[in-house]
Structure 1
Amino acid sequence: MTLPPPAPLHADLAEGPDGGRAFWLTARDGVRIRAAHWPGGTKGTVLMFPGRTEYVEKYGRAAADMAARGYQTLAIDWRGQGLAQRALPDPMTGHVGHFDEYQRDIAALMDMAEALDLPRPFHLLAHSMGGCIGLRALMNGLPVASAVFSAPMWGILLSASARPAAMALSSLSRFVGMANRYAPSTGPASYVADAPFAGNVLTTDPEMFAWMKRQVTEHSELSLGGPSLGWLHAALRECARLAMLPSPGIPTICALGTAEKVVDPAPIHLRMAAWPKGRLDLYPGAEHEVIMEGPEVRKLFFDRAAELFAASTPQKA
């Protein structure tokens, strides 16, 4: 199978393993996305599903952590973010019409994994919005041996009073030509680029926060602003639909910081309490990005992930 064409990779900012490279992929609906591969061993390959606003360079250090444990990493820029093709004239608006669009990106990524002949088994590591996309992919039969979720977006954190209004407004937006507008209280600004470390909702580690900020300030083309009303409607619908479905029987760990302020923790607790072969790991004091916390938390997270991956790997006869 022919390799896809090469794409830019800001290796100096990613700080991933040596030999990392990126490729342009084309989803079946013609949307161009980007994916990155980092080498790292022969135990298997980690499929890295980032969150909303994110891009492959943000997971270079995670790829280095997985490489140290014997795993290669394949990460993706979802459509509408990173260097992937953006849907709207305002490139800072995060937009899709339906979450099924992201499954087309996964199909292109799996074709790339086949073209690169990456070591198996595959394992899923999915953060935030990537956790929502990843859960649907597991239900669709994504060929992985195990899965690790980090603060998955299985519910959007809204107050009880705001939820009906958000659903009504986002639904109405489709019929009155407002689907491309920013969701309330959001706009074109990048949270990571603009927010100070003090009071941020992503990490308690100043060095990791500074590293993320440096990426989007030195390469502003990677950054993204708020979601569209169309994205909000699609996300609320997808979370509601997933909540009605049973969890797959795949070995799974879900990591959640006890200071979570971005996604709704309640659906995470409910699903993991009933997940066959599933476990919820709580990280005291950690915020939304457990993967981007301090060294001790990150080591524990990746050690646990590697233990699950090894335990889920079929033994050769």
Structure 2
Amino acid sequence: MSWTFTSEQDLASTFATEINPFWQTSVTLGEFVGKDNIDVHYAWCIPENPKSTVVISSGRIESYLKYKELIFDLYQNGFAVFILDHRGQGLSGRMTHDPQHGYVADFADYVDDLITFVNDIVKPRQQGELQLLCHSMGGAIGALTLLRDPSLFDKAVLASPMFGIKPALPNWLANSLIKVGLSINKMKKRESGYFFGQTPYIAFPYALNKLTHSKNRYSLFRQLYDEERQIQLGGVTTEWLRAAQAAMNTIELNAAAITTRSLILSADGDSIIENKRQRRVAAKFPNAQVEIIPVAYHEVLTESDDIRDAALSTVFDFLSA
């Protein structure tokens, strides 16, 4: 099928003349109270006669505001879109004293929020199949959700899913460092603290970025985070890393039980995800098609046009088949 996508060439003007006006007129914003009274913010939009209903589970540090272009592309091509900001990031509530801490107590909390969102917000408005589109950490959350409730989604797309992360330390070393980090936090009587080497938010210049080959998309991403300081997030805490490690181990041990029809996009130039482990885990999914995206950095969905258009065509074809 032929799909239409925004172009990075004139993206700043497209935002001004098309995407932001669309956001004002066609997108509904809201929030619900998740576990432990954490506010979870979300957005949704529904075109006329949608092909299906797509729920987006985004990556670490991300907000639905960063997904405006993708949401616009999905909507323009006939998909209803629902997206939430995971607890502890974006516009959603924080759980620690420092709003820049990348923190979660347990990935099960993310899954609880996603299932609540689907049942209370999405399903009453659902048209067509219910489909899941994930990126990075959102892929780990998505996989855990598919394990928790195998019949919730008709299809799932996992782009650069977080089934392993770099640096891939030996288990004994990772566990030792996490144990030391947790002990330091306990000694200092604080509920969380950055893992070794992690810092508050830093805006790296494009030349040092390993997320995308698109200078325009990267510049707009950084501009957004400069303007909307509330969505800035720093590095991971020791607690988040412990929770992530447990989540990735659970996914690997139970991958054969994820029976939902899935498309997994593996970015060949990814320096965030440990692709060897990711592909090993993906191979265990009994009903998954794995597509390796040559050259692509981590953020396949905001890559340069040549990479993004091909990847999104594959995704849209899969969702509409």
Which category describes the TM-score, using the shorter chain as reference length? 0.7 to 0.9
CA distance in 1, matches of 2:26, 2:307: 27
Where do residues 1-317 of structure 1 align in structure 2 (5 Å cutoff)? 15=20, 18-41=25-48, 42-110=50-118, 111-115=120-124, 117-141=125-149, 143-160=152-169, 163-175=171-183, 177=186, 180-190=192-202, 194-245=203-254, 246-311=256-321
CA distance in 1, matches of 2:34, 2:98: 22
AA aligned to 1:128 is S
AA aligned to 1:203 is T
Deviation at 1:164, TM superposition (A): 3.0
- Kindly tell me: are residues 14 and 134 of structure 1, through their superposed partners in 2, closer, same or farther at Cα, counting changes over 3 Å? farther
Deviation at 1:128, TM superposition (A): 0.5
- Kindly tell me: are residues 174 and 160 of structure 1, through their superposed partners in 2, closer, same or farther at Cα, counting changes over 3 Å? closer
Match of 2:26, SS state, is coil
Match of 2:73, SS state, is helix
CA deviation string 1:64-106 (max 9, x = no partner): 1212321111111000001111011111001111111111211
AA aligned to 1:101 is D
AA aligned to 2:237 is S
Deviation at 1:39, TM superposition (A): 2.3
CA deviation string 1:159-178 (max 9, x = no partner): 445x5333222234445516
AA aligned to 1:119 is Q
AA aligned to 2:206 is F
AA aligned to 2:278 is I
Check whether the contact 1:65–1:302 (CA below 8 A) recurs between aligned residues: no
Cα-Cα RMSD: 2.0
Match of 1:201, SS state, is coil
CA deviation string 1:179-216 (max 9, x = no partner): 611011111124xxx10111311001101101111110
Check whether the contact 2:266–2:279 (CA below 8 A) recurs between aligned residues: no
Match of 2:36, SS state, is coil
Check whether the contact 1:247–1:271 (CA below 8 A) recurs between aligned residues: no
Match of 2:207, SS state, is coil
1:3 corresponding residue in structure 2: none
CA distance in 1, matches of 2:56, 2:169: 32
TM-score by length of 1: 0.87
Query: Which of the two has greater helix per residue?
Result: 2
Check whether the contact 2:19–2:72 (CA below 8 A) recurs between aligned residues: no
Match of 1:29, SS state, is helix
AA aligned to 1:38 is C
TM-score by length of 2: 0.86
Check whether the contact 1:179–1:228 (CA below 8 A) recurs between aligned residues: no
Check whether the contact 1:170–1:179 (CA below 8 A) recurs between aligned residues: no
Percent identity reads 24
Match of 1:309, SS state, is helix
Check whether the contact 2:96–2:191 (CA below 8 A) recurs between aligned residues: no
Check whether the contact 1:151–1:255 (CA below 8 A) recurs between aligned residues: yes
Deviation at 1:136, TM superposition (A): 0.3
